[in-house]
Chains A and B, each alone.
Chain A
Amino acid sequence: MTATPLPYDQLKGPTTVRRLLTTPTTGPLVALLLACVFFSLTTEQFLSGGNFSLIVQQVMVVGTLAIGQTLIILTAGIDLSCGAVMAFGSIVIAKTAAESGLPPLVAIALGLAVCAGFGLVNGLLVQLIPLPPFIVTLGMLNVAFALTHIYSAEQTITNLPGPLTALGETFPLGNTDITYGSLVTIALFLVFAYALSSTSWGRHVYALGNSPEAARLNGIRTSRLTIGLYTLAGAVYGIAALLLVSRTGVGDPQAGQTDNLDSITAVVLGGTSLFGGRGAVLGTFIGVLIVGVFRNGLQLMGVASIYQTLITGVLVILAVTVDQISRRKAR
């Protein structure tokens, strides 16, 4: 395989330290740790198991969306529709279970299928016509947004059956409460991290992102791979939809409106390149935690939330700058 993506794959040297230093995830990790140290020093409540559990709960929805977003950005695409698709999925789940009387598990499966269907359509349009991902997903954002509001009749859906909110419930670990949903999110991150870094499928994804033409000439079925990635991302948004419903306990047609941008923010902060072929899903997890830690920490410090927006903006620009500079030097 000539198009191996990550620098550390090309290093013959064994040392873990070197591997760590050359992973694009290291910079974001350092930033996250610095932020944690800072908030631990400035607030009493930050450094506690309960607080960390809370941060993970708070980022699980955007984090799960960001997994799908990472898959698409790795192919040098972008998905503006993820939040809207998730919102539609969550309304489908909530409404079919709470009002149409479908068994909860069927409702959940239906929601996942609907989201995967949106992904499939995105993938087909991007690959077969072909259209730029930005445009396809911008259009799909509006389609999904409108369908959400039409199907829900603008009404928030309450009184959800128990299984829909089960993932929002907690179990004790020591003296900390953990939600099941957090575990689902973490498990997803681990599964995708393994699949991307250690399977041939993962290598194909990176190869596709580096150069679709080279990948095709190397015998990768790029068309099928792309459509599959968009569909898979859609299915992941479906899982995010379930997590959203379980977290808030309602079906909310207003949900997810800025989550597309938040997921892109997480991917970029995690060191994945918007230009494709470079990055890692665990970086995305760190990216989403950076946002969550700042929001939580600033709140604990009593800083107005607008500063969180300011800081996130600065961090995103710096993260892309880092990506650009290191690309230029690596060439």
Chain B
Amino acid sequence: MLRRNRTTFTSIGLTALAAVSALALTACGSGAQGGSGGDGVKVGLITKTDTNPFFVKMKEGAEQAAKANGVELVSAAGKFDGDNAGQVTAIENMVNSGVKGILITPNDSKAIVPALEKARAKGVLVIALDSPTDPQDATDALFATDNVKAGELIGQYAKAAMAGKEAKIATLDLAPGVAVGVQRHQGFLRGFGVAEGDPSIVCMQDTGGDQAKGQTAMENCLQKSPDINVVYTINEPAALGAYTALKAKGLEKKVLVVSVDGGCTGTKAVKEGKIAATSQQYPLEMASQGVKAVADFAKSGKKASGYTDTGVTLITDAATTGVDSKDTAYGLEKCWG
């Protein structure tokens, strides 16, 4: 009996120790974040995940803007790309902690809508960053890249670079039903001047924007059609995966790879000639404009509205006539990640 009781006390002690050490960790965490306090105005930033470099950069931009505007930034993220429930929870907690506005990159453009409506009903300004909600007016405003235009630019570029040669196109896409992926894909086709279902599109594969999956997708496309000479990729990780697959077959010089995003790794790959061109977007810009909009709302009560294009630039070192572009030196200066 005595033995058992001692056991129990040990276990209670250990659990309490666990709790205490967890709290100690918490304290460290809050210390690390303590720099950006303001005069009580809080801005929430909710990204898709907190590990993707794009969102890391977005958060940096938001932190800088928070300091510059004298507001406090709180941030949260979904656990994985597509995690709606995690974002709903983050919204609720932020509204409860009294944020003035929420900036969100929705993981699911439709599923997030009811939670955003509840937040807006409590007077919180809600701004979508990077990608719109469905319907778009479920948020007060949208600060994002024009993804159709981003696709169009690389489509036009690829068309010009092919100089009339017969095209055999592979598209390495994102995932079914995700707006960003669909818009870039459609933009590319429009820029290239082909319609969906055109016989020149010989392979379409989903990559989830992941390098390893991009490689697998390209390998499979090459099995199906070894004569592919144009590859559209949803982002640069997918493009680099495609490059690895092409190189294994000795095709890397014969195939034109184009992409969207403008991350630093991707822009370097453009410089090294692995990717012919990429459409660069500006997450830092989205975040800083978003934070500023919330700060303005706190001061003047005026809400941001509508769609603000945060810009997109074609980056390539092999410029073609008729398509505006900047070189990789410019791209590396502005890249993220």
Expressed in whole angstroms, the minimum distance between the Cβ of B179 and any Cβ of chain A is: 12
Q: How far is the CA of A309 from the CA of B77 in the complex (A)?
A: 11
**Which of A28, A302, A323 interacts with B74 by CB under 8 Å?**
A302
Contact, CB under 8 Å: A21 / B16: no
Nearest chain B CB to A254's CB is how many angstroms away?
4
Say whether A296 faces chain B, with CB atoms less than 8 Å apart.
yes
Q: State the CA gap A244–B72 with chains docked (Å).
A: 32
Interface residues of A in 8-43 (CB under 8 A from B): 11, 18, 21-22, 24, 26-28, 30-31, 34-35, 38, 42-43
Give the top 6 A-B pairs by smallest Cβ distance, nearest first: A27-B15, A318-B18, A249-B114, A31-B19, A299-B93, A254-B82
* Residues in A whose Cβ lies below 8 Å from that of B94: 299
Write the chain B residue with the least CB distance to A38.
B23
Known: A27-B14, A51-B96, A295-B89. 7 other contacts (CB 8 A): A27-B11, A30-B15, A31-B15, A244-B85, A299-B74, A315-B19, A329-B6
Known interface pairs A35-B23, A249-B114, A299-B93. Does A329 touch B14 (Cβ–Cβ under 8 Å)?
no
Q: Give the chain A neighbours of B6 by CB distance below 8 A.
A: 329
Which stretch, B104-112, B160-168, B289-297, touches the partner chain A? B104-112
Q: Which of A22, A304, A309, A323 has a CB less than 8 Å from the CB of B8?
A: A22
**Alpha-carbon gap, A7 to B5, bound state (A):** 10
Residues of B within 8 A of A (CB): 1, 3-12, 14-23, 25-26, 29-30, 33, 42, 50, 72-77, 79-80, 82-85, 88-90, 92-94, 96-98, 107-108, 110-111, 113-115, 175-177
Q: Is there contact, CB below 8 Å, between A155 and B108?
A: no
Instruction: Report A184-227 residues with CB < 8 Å from chain B CB.
Output: none
A interface residues, tally (CB under 8 Å): 67
> A50, A321, A323: which has the most chain B beta carbons within 10 Å?
A321
Minimal beta-carbon separation of A195 from chain B (angstroms): 25
Q: Is the CB of B25 within 8 A of A305?
A: no
A301 contacts B26, C-beta separation under 8 Å: yes
Min CB–CB distance B209 → chain A (angstroms): 15
Contact across chains for A304 and B50 when beta carbons are under 8 A apart: yes
How far, in angstroms, from A323 to B79 measured CA to CA in the complex? 28
- Judge if A258 is at the interface, Cβ distance under 8 Å: yes
Contacts of B11 in A (CB 8 A): 24, 27, 322-323, 325-326
Tell me which of B7, B17, B76, B108 contacts A305 (CB under 8 A): B76
Chain A residues near B9: list those with CB within 8 A: 21
* Complex contact B4–A22 (CB within 8 A): yes
Tell me the chain A residues, 282-298 only, with Cβ under 8 Å from chain B: 294-298
